[in-house]
Chain A
Amino acid sequence: VRRARAVLHLRSPSEEVAMTSVPRVLIIDDDEDFRASLRSILEAEGYVVDAAASGHEGLDAAARNQPAVIILDVMMESSTEGYVVNQRLKFGAEPLADVPIIMMSSIQESPDELYPRAEEVGMIRPDFYLSKPVDIPRFLDVVARAAARRVRV
């Protein structure tokens, strides 16, 4: 398990864009502070990070930036906005539909509990699910696994 480097040194995203083959991660979360801390964790690991504050912004940013991994909050403007965004992306156009999505929520309910009959009603389960706040090493591990899966696809 990788650990966050001791230095949470932040490079500006513009410097990072110049570097090629750095996995790009999109964070969709309506909490400004949570976005800021996740960004610092990911940037310290060398990821290029984009952030969006709502489902709508997130869908736009995903189309624009073609991230390798998407981190998606469940409860934003509505209590299930994250699931709606997940659905839209997975049913959407090709390259984005394959992007692994890590769903997150601070309500301790797994998607199984929220949607016991998810398949029956046509819900798509998230590729990964983490509860907030994240355990940093585990979080980085999941992001790395998600990014690797994308490469394989």
Chain B
Amino acid sequence: VTAGGGTATLPAAAGLNADAAAGEDAGGIVVVIDDDYAMRLSCYQILSRMGFQVELFEDGASGLEGVACHKPCLVVVDLKMPGIGGLEVVDRIHEIDPAIITIVITGYATIGTAVDAMKSGAYDFLPKPFAPDELRVIVHRGLERRRLQRESRRHQLERELLRRRFVTFVSHQLKTPLVAIHQYLDVLRRLDDSPDAAAHRAEWLDRCLVRTAEMRALIDDWLTLAEAEGGLLVRRREPVELTRLIPPLLDTYEEFARRVEVSLSADMPAEPLMVMGDRNCLSVLFDNLIVNAIKYNRPGGTVRVSAGLSTGEVVVAVADTGVGIPAAQHHLIFEEFYRLPHPEHGAPPGSGLGLPICRRIVSELGGRIELESEEHVGSTFRVRLPATAPTAAAVAQTLEPSHGN
């Protein structure tokens, strides 16, 4: 058959966007199986003008061989053919590849059978005679269905991957400290009363406490996100003054920072920086950023928290002189359960949820979080939140000592 030819552009058939409908299948292979020569010819003309590579077969047996070897995205098959009928062809095509879209062509007399074909998985049917536009529309719709199926399969795989990552991560992150604690306890109960043993007892009990505290923090993080699943982390909207919130947070890490030889500093403006937010959530947010800046630092390094006002936004920057984040990982660190390894000592203890929680809080507060980082030089996390005009009452409130919530 040498009919057709040329790649005429598709007329805006029934308002369908040709590109969107074709997608990955644009220019793909379409198989036509029909015993009627005239029908094969007109299908060829229509489909090849749509940009497909069209393969024609005159009976079910050769058609099925053609499907097996050409791996088409779509098959147009006549329902009434001598030999293997259209119904069986549809069945066998789906055995070869269930993702192939099948469209059956049928005379009015066989519409009942066409419905049977659809029940057994054909995408749609086209009664004879049909106009070129009718075939075009149905092919586009079929391929759109194929695209959606492929997409949903992809999402399913991603979800499965995420679930497996979660299981592995949780079991490892929880079991590792438990194993360490269990092993210490078993050794501790075998210690005698010598002074040497007493020294070890004190040290190992301390380590058990540290590991227990880490596990508790881990579980708290997971619960925080699990509770917020589908809901909101930020539960309250109250005016919060950041120049009064941040310095005390920083102070709580003095001891930890000193141990790892990192110095902390805060650079707060004299005027109040007011945002609408949840005091708890804002504390969690800056807490996480400060802890990361210390953990991913180096002896002799610094963590500097600065804040200011910029075109209606309160900007808080947490800058460290730490190990930095390779550009390829910038998008990953906000992913749940992703742990950035410290180049010198592997991944420091953590839930893998700190930054995902930060990102979530910031976006719920209508702000955004930016990262600037250079490997071996350091990272700056910049939080931008909409500023609120400080009312006298709010300022007074923040000046009063806070008694929890």
Contact = CB atoms under 8 A, between A and B. Distances in A.
Interface of A: 4, 6-10, 30-31, 33-34, 36-38, 40-41, 53-54, 75-77, 79, 106-107, 132-134, 136
Which of B178, B179, B194, B211 has most chain A Cβ within 10 Å? B179
B404 interface: no
Contact of A133 (B186, B194, B197): B186
Interface stretch (B97-105, B167-175, B221-229, B394-402): B167-175
A43 to B, nearest CB: 11
17 contacts: A4-B187, A9-B192, A10-B200, A31-B176, A33-B180, A33-B181, A33-B211, A37-B180, A37-B183, A37-B186, A38-B183, A40-B200, A41-B187, A53-B345, A79-B172, A106-B172, A136-B186
Given A10-B196, A10-B200, A77-B346, A4 B190 contact: yes
B346 A54 contact: yes
Interface residues of B, number: 28
B68 interface: no
B177 to A, nearest CB: 8
B183 A6 contact: no
Given A7-B194, A8-B191, A53-B346, A31 B179 contact: yes
A32 to B, nearest CB: 8
A37 B190 contact: no
B253 interface: no
Contacts of B181: 33
A86 to B, nearest CB: 19
A82 to B, nearest CB: 13
B338 interface: no
Contacts of A4: 187, 190
Contacts of B23: none
Contacts of A106: 171-172, 175-176, 178-179
B200 to A, nearest CB: 7
A9 B192 CA distance: 9
A136 B197 CA distance: 18
B184 A37 contact: yes
Nearest to A30: B346
B183 A77 contact: no
Nearest to B339: A77
A8 B179 CA distance: 19
A79 B204 CA distance: 27
A56 to B, nearest CB: 11
Contacts of A54: 346
Q: Which 6 A-B pairs have the closest CB atoms?
A: A33-B180, A133-B182, A37-B183, A106-B175, A132-B179, A7-B192
A53 B346 CA distance: 9
Given A75-B172, A77-B346, A107-B172, 19 more contacts: A7-B192, A7-B197, A8-B187, A9-B197, A10-B196, A10-B200, A31-B176, A34-B179, A36-B207, A37-B184, A37-B204, A40-B187, A76-B346, A77-B341, A77-B347, A106-B171, A106-B175, A106-B176, A136-B190
Interface string B311-327: 00000000000000000
Which of B178, B182, B190 has most chain A Cβ within 10 Å? B190
A4 B187 CA distance: 9
Interface string B198-232: 00100010010001000000000000000000000
A54 B196 CA distance: 29
Contacts of A37: 180, 183-184, 186-187, 204
Nearest to A3: B190
B207 to A, nearest CB: 5
A143 B200 CA distance: 23
B197 to A, nearest CB: 7
Nearest to B187: A37
Contacts of A9: 192, 194, 196-197
Nearest to A40: B187
A8 B191 CA distance: 6
Contacts of A107: 168, 171-172, 175
B364 to A, nearest CB: 33
B310 to A, nearest CB: 40
Contacts of B194: 7, 9
A106 B197 CA distance: 27
A134 B183 contact: yes
Interface in B299-343: 341
Given A9-B194, A9-B197, A106-B176, A34 B183 contact: yes
Nearest to A44: B190
Contacts of B345: 53
A9 B193 CA distance: 10
